[in-house]
Chain A
Amino acid sequence: MKLAITTQGSEPNSPVDLRFGRARFFCIVDTETGQQMTVDNADGVNAVQGAGVQAAQTLARLGVQTVLTGHVGPKAQTALQAAKIQVYALNGGTVEQASQAFMAGQLRTLDAADVRGHW
């Protein structure tokens, strides 16, 4: 399964980015092979509007099924839901800690938008 973690840097010890659509990078982890790659989200960071839905599209096209992030707005939530991407909530920490917490089943799911739309 492909897992995406929103992050502020491209290293395993980079702090996670609690913003979804405007996260600096997405760290994509293949949980079967352990392979990792970093996707630059400059388009989302600089988007005039709709960064969240664009991020959902990017992840869906990469075949991501699960995303770990801080907050999700209402429009991103509908796009993630349509793409059948499951969201788990992060409070902070590093990319590595986030992925370990997810593997250990310690993260709660985020089934609804938890912040308001801002565009």
Chain B
Amino acid sequence: MKLAVASGKGGTGKTTVATNLAVTLARHGQTVGYVDCDVEAPNGHLFLKPDVARENPVGRLVPRVDQERCLHCGDCARICRFNAIVCLPEQTLVYDELCHSCGGCALVCTAGAITEASHPMGVVKTGLAGKIQFVSGTLNVGEAASPPVIRATKQAAPPADWTILDAPPGTACPMIETVRDCHYVLLVTEPTPFGLHDLRLALDVAKTLKLPCGVVVNRAQPRMTETRELCESARVPILAEIPDALDIAKAYSQGQLAVEAVPGLQQTFDQLLRRLRAEVHN
């Protein structure tokens, strides 16, 4: 079971839900992989405290031009819609940061002057956090596109009963790259105007990608009429409500797992797991 924990709005509690759910699953005897796909700001390690065994670099292919062979015909520059390669009368220049790694320039170069080389863009760490297989991707500072690192991070996840993907916030490419091939998406929200607005966007993404999903409300309030109404109208169940409690925030600020530090939270996550299983017929 591949399950993504996503949200529209940042800071709603994706990592809180993903890490505590991973630990809960392990306690129920399941093999679990936790995959931190929030490669621009990974933080699952703060709570799971893994022993990182390996760090593998992630690169993307960019063209390298052999100036001796280059005929300055300009075919490479013409096919590049990202202007990453420019053909000057005496020199052909490559701008790695503009390149989208399509390989088109190398294909059209009849002089064989273009080869592709790996441009480093991030790293994937793998290890163990107790019984949990831990995987976490990090995008290098200055790199513009995170999806290739997210892909590599997902590929590094070993097979398990449950693979929990901690998604990046938002509803754009990085989030979609994370959730696209999942079996189920858990959307974490909070009962605030921003939380509601972004949940609506995230529900639209799930619907467009035809992904079944459920909602976890963090910092839940007793009424939260609008959140409930939205979920009802989208026919998406609220699977858990995490109370708005200071001790949960304190545990988080100290890098502690809520299920370990806060009385009653293990039951909340046990119940979430029961409902999730019913949802996914696992």
Listed in ascending order, the chain A residues whose CB lies under 8 Å from chain B are: 47-51, 53-54, 56-57, 60-61, 75, 78-79, 82-83, 119
Size class of the contact patch on chain B: 10 to 19
How far apart are the CA atoms of A75 and B39 in the complex, in Å? 27
A73 CB to nearest B CB, Å: 11
> Is B86 at the interface (CB under 8 A from chain A)?
yes
Residues of chain A lying within 8 A (CB to CB) of residue B86: 50, 53-54, 56-57, 79
Given contacts A78-B93, A79-B93, A119-B98, contact A56 B88 (CB under 8 A): yes
Flag if B88 contacts A49 (CB, 8 Å): no
Check: B194 CB closer than 8 A to any chain A CB: no
Q: Is the interface of A mostly helix, strand, loop or mixed?
A: helix
- Give B62-100 as 1s and 0s: 1 = Cβ < 8 Å from A's Cβ atoms: 000000000000100100011110111111010101100
A57 and B98 contact, CB distance less than 8 A: no
Least CB separation from A82: chain B residue: B91
Interface string of B248-278 (1 = CB under 8 A from A): 0000000000000000000000000000000
- How many residue pairs bridge A and B at CB < 8 Å? 49
Question: Which of B74, B81, B86 gathers the greatest number of chain A CB atoms within 10 Å?
Answer: B86
Interface residues of B, dominant DSSP = loop
**Can you list 12 residue pairs at the A/B interface with Cβ under 8 Å?**
A47-B83, A49-B82, A49-B83, A50-B82, A53-B98, A54-B83, A56-B86, A60-B88, A75-B98, A82-B90, A82-B93, A119-B98
CA of A78 to CA of B87, assembled, Å: 13
Q: Please, which residue of chain A has its CB at the minimum distance from the CB of B83?
A: A50
In the bound complex, do residue B82 and residue A83 qualify as a contact, i.e. CB atoms below 8 Å apart? no
Closest-by-CB residue of A relative to B81 is: A48
Residues of chain B with a CB closer than 8 A to A119's CB: 97-98
Q: How far is the CA of A50 from the CA of B82 in the complex (A)?
A: 7
Q: Which A residue sits closest to B87, measured CB to CB?
A: A57
Contact in complex: A50, B98 (CB < 8 Å) = yes
